[in-house]
């Protein structure tokens, strides 16, 4: 099992390591993990942001967790160069190894006659999810249609799941994630007791030239290698090195254990009506802050136009103070899907900006009030 702090950090519900430690206790690797979160993920993974309200219309009727994979081996399959070089070998050993992948990975596997055990649908941002849905419209055959199990987070656009049979679809809950799907797949496999986890096609550059864009993921995989109680093998020999991952052949992932179909512990998911009602309750709780944000937005807009207004530093401090209440912070981040204000809670606002303070004030309050209006529209539309 992963320590509780891993999922807690990825939830973005904590603004300081002291807050985190008070909630989940201390751990040998907690300080290193928090430093990674702060330095490589800017202290904000965005894993709970759903600005488009996709969770309100998600088609899943079940949440769940994977059943035990004790003694089994799991390959996390990406679409880097090492994957294409090993497809023939993967076909030969398929019955002796689990395969977890993404929708794009499932597309490559399907083209080579391989069906994964699990397709994990997870996107770092709403824009990534939007592009994935557009890509799916261009494929001839939906690669997730034949997957035995599809795990799709609540933020997944409904269009991405249109071809998935309802009995094969579930929302993984809890989801041990910091955002990048390969790390989430590794964490899910580790949570089930897998004996060995391998990476294939998760290259992240080459040995000679690691891709700096993937540095956060590389370091996150290194953290997981220290946390998971199993062997971690990188089967993409020419890919960038991941700390704690032993470079090994794909043959080393073959298990002696015969594999039964992958199963999950199912629980009823909240119905659409229940999700809508919860969103309305969140919106009602936030009404005083939304009303106040409208007033502060108007002040910021007048300051932008060069008009004399009250103290902008007081307004900036007020919106920052909303993050000090954990319940309000969660409602604003997860209920309204706020990005700007959530980041300002972590970085602060430079009060030395003086008259230019209108910029962070307008950015924050414009998004807040706009997302409140969007939520009002979405709950009415979803209920219609």
Residue 380 is encoded by which pair of tokens? 């009415």
Question: What confidence score (pLDDT) does residue 139 get?
Answer: 66
- Residue 33's DSSP bridge partners are none
Q: What stretches in the chain show pLDDT beneath 70? A: 130, 132-133, 135-141, 383-384
Query: What pairing do the DSSP bridges indicate for beta strands 98-101 and 196-200?
Result: unpaired
Going from the C-alpha of 285 to that of each of 15, 147, 278, 372, the distances in angstroms are 22, 40, 11, 11
What distance in Å separates the CA atoms of residue 345 and residue 360, rounded to the nearest whole number?
A: 12
Going from the C-alpha of 250 to that of each of 73, 112, 253, the distances in angstroms are 11, 17, 6
CB count in 10 Å sphere of residue 231: 17
Residue 102: exposure state from Cβ atoms within 10 A (0-12, 13-18, ≥19): buried
| Residues 182 and 100 sit within 8 Å (Cβ to Cβ) | no
Query: In sequence order, what are the residues at sequence separation of 6 or more whose Cβ sits closer than 8 angstroms to the Cβ of residue 179?
Result: 10, 41, 45, 46, 47, 122, 124
What distance in Å separates the CA atoms of residue 30 and residue 298, rounded to the nearest whole number?
A: 42
Helices (H) and strands (E) in the chain, counts: 16, 10
| Residues 82 and 234 sit within 8 Å (Cβ to Cβ) | no
- Using the structure block, give the residue that is written with the tokens 């799916």: 136
Handedness of CA 278, 280, 281, 287 (dihedral sign): positive
Residue 159 is encoded by which pair of tokens? 């269009």
Mean pLDDT of all residues belonging to the chain? 94
Residue 342 is encoded by which pair of tokens? 């959530």
What distance in Å separates the CA atoms of residue 32 and residue 262, rounded to the nearest whole number?
A: 34
Question: What confidence score (pLDDT) does residue 124 get?
Answer: 82
Question: What confidence score (pLDDT) does residue 242 get?
Answer: 97
Terminal Cα distance for the chain, rounded: 43
Give 335's DSSP letter: I
C-alpha atoms less than 13 angstroms from C-alpha of 370 in its C-beta half-sphere = 14
| Residues 245 and 225 sit within 8 Å (Cβ to Cβ) | yes
Question: What confidence score (pLDDT) does residue 257 get?
Answer: 78
What distance in Å separates the CA atoms of residue 103 and residue 80, rounded to the nearest whole number?
A: 14
Residue 336 is encoded by which pair of tokens? 């309204």
Question: What confidence score (pLDDT) does residue 137 get?
Answer: 66
What distance in Å separates the CA atoms of residue 106 and residue 119, rounded to the nearest whole number?
A: 7
Q: Please write the tens of the pLDDT for every residue from 276-319.
A: 999 999 999 999 999 999 999 999 999 999 998 989 999 999 99
Does a cis peptide bond (omega within 30 degrees of 0) precede residue 174?
yes
Residue 234: closest CA among 17, 75, 348, 349:
75
- Residue 196's DSSP bridge partners are 73, 231
Question: What confidence score (pLDDT) does residue 384 get?
Answer: 64
Decide: helix, strand or coil at residue 336.
Answer: helix
């Amino acid at each position: 099992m992963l320590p509780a702090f891993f999922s807690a950090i990825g939830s973005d519900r904590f603004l300081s390591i002291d807050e985190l430690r008070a909630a989940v206790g201390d751990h040998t690797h907690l300080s290193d993990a928090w430093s990674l979160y702060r330095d490589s993920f800017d202290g904000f993974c965005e894993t709970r942001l759903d600005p488009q309200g996709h969770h309100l219309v998600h088609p899943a009727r079940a949440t769940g967790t994977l059943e035990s994979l004790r003694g089994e081996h799991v390959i996390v399959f990406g679409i880097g160069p090492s994957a294409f070089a090993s497809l023939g070998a993967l076909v030969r050993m398929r019955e002796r190894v689990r395969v977890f992948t993404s929708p794009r990975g499932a597309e490559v596997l399907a083209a080579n006659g391989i069906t994964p055990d699990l397709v994990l649908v997870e996107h770092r941002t709403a824009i990534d999810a939007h592009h994935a849905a557009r890509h799916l419209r261009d494929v001839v055959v939906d690669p997730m249609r034949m997957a035995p199990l599809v795990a799709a987070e609540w933020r997944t656009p409904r269009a991405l799941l249109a071809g998935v049979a309802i009995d094969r679809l579930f929302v993984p809950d809890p989801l041990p994630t910091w955002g990048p799907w390969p790390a989430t797949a590794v964490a899910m496999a580790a949570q089930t007791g897998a004996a060995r986890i391998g990476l294939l096609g998760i290259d992240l550059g080459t040995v000679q030239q690691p891709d700096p864009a993937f540095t956060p993921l590389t370091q996150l995989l290194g953290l997981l290698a220290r946390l998971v109680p199993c062997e971690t093998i990188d089967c993409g020999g020419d890919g960038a090195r991941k700390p704690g991952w032993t470079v090994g052949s794909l043959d080393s992932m073959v298990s002696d254990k015969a594999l039964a179909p992958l199963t999950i512990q199912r629980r009823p998911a909240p119905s659409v009506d229940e999700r809508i009602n919860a969103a309305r309750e969140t919106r009602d709780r936030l009404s005083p802050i939304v009303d106040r944000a409208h007033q502060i937005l108007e002040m910021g807009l007048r300051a932008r136009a060069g008009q004399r207004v009250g103290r902008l530093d007081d307004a900036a401090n007020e919106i920052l103070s909303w993050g000090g209440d954990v319940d309000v912070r969660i409602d604003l981040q997860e209920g309204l899907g706020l990005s700007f204000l959530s980041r300002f809670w972590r970085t602060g606002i430079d009060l030395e900006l003086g008259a230019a303070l209108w910029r962070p004030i307008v950015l924050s309050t414009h998004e807040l009030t706009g997302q409140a209006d969007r939520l009002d529209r979405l709950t009415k539309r979803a209920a219609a």
